[in-house]
Amino acid sequence: MLSYHNIENESRTKSRTRVVPGKLNYYFSSRPISYGMKETILILHNIRSAQNVGAMFRTAEAAGISEIYITGYTPGPLDRFGKERKDVAKSALGAEKMLPWQEIKNLTTLIKNLKKNKFYIIAIEQSPKSVDYKRVKAKNKTAFIVGNEVTGLSPAILKKCDVVAEIKMLGKKESLNVSVALGIAIYRICDL
């Protein structure tokens, strides 16, 4: 069962200091699970940069995302000893303490569980089968997935998504920074 079903009985002001893979990790949060919008979660897969992770926590908190899943080798807000990562905290500016999050090693299993729970899976990625992000709309339960800054999401993961949304590039650069792309996509797709 996914954590957003389990945390209803948890005290939302409870503090945790140790990372437990597959379990909900947070410092504090007093907001309801669906803060300001439909149930929307974010999956950060194989993100290399801790600063990008922090920036995406900040964007997710501002956009009312319910929960963040950290998969692959993405650095979390806490290191393996349960201590705060200053490199994440520097760009998150406290958002890492406001959002429930958990580390999940197997993205395929997570996607399967989300689909079983009727989540609409949106990958933010460039792909031959992608659609313009302006044509994509969030559903009652939506999960956004972003991937590695250089290699993106694998074709195998993209096949498991309901839609691949792409932000058209008009300049000479082939892509945007992952945290910038996420912010643009979430605000447009969720109609914020």
Phi, psi values for residue 50, rounded to 5°: -65, -35
pLDDT at 185 exceeding the cut of 90: yes
Residue 33: pLDDT above 70? no
**pLDDT, position 94:** 85
Query: Is the model's pLDDT at 104 over the cut of 90?
Result: yes
The percentage of residues in the chain with a pLDDT greater than 90, rounded to a whole number, is 66
Residue type, 11: S
Q: What is the pLDDT of residue 28?
A: 42
Q: Is the pTM of this model over 0.85?
A: no
pLDDT tens, position by position, 130-163: 999 999 999 999 999 999 999 999 999 999 999 9
pLDDT confidence of residue 11:
34
Nearest one of 145, 152, 144 to 174, comparing CA atoms: 152
Task: Give the tens place of pLDDT for each residue, 117-126.
Answer: 999 999 999 9
pLDDT for the residue numbered 4: 34
Mean pLDDT of 42-67: 95
Q: Looking at residue 109, what is its pLDDT?
A: 95
**Stronger pLDDT, 42 or 23, i.e. the higher one:** 42
Band (30; pLDDT cuts 50, 70, 90): very low
Q: For residue 47, give the nearest of 120, 142, 151, 130 by alpha carbon.
A: 151
The pLDDT assigned to 192 comes to: 77
Number of structural domains, the chain?
Answer: 1
Residue 3's pLDDT is what?
32
DSSP string, the chain: --HHHHGGGS-TT----S--TTS-B-S---S-SS-SSSEEEEEEES---HHHHHHHHHHHHHHT--EEEEETT---SB-TTS-B-HHHHHHHTTGGGTS-EEEES-HHHHHHHHHHTTPEEEEE---TT-EEGGG----SEEEEEE-BTTTBS-HHHHHHSSEEEEPPP-SSSS---HHHHHHHHHHHHTT-
What per-residue confidence (pLDDT) applies to 37?
A: 52
CATH no. for residue 129? 3.40.1280.10
Q: Other CB atoms closer than 10 Å to residue 144's CB: what's the count?
A: 27
What are the counts of helices (DSSP H) followed by strands (DSSP E) for the chain?
Answer: 6, 7
Kindly report the average pLDDT of the chain as a whole number. Answer: 83
Average pLDDT for 4-12: 32
Question: What domain range includes position 80?
Answer: 3-189
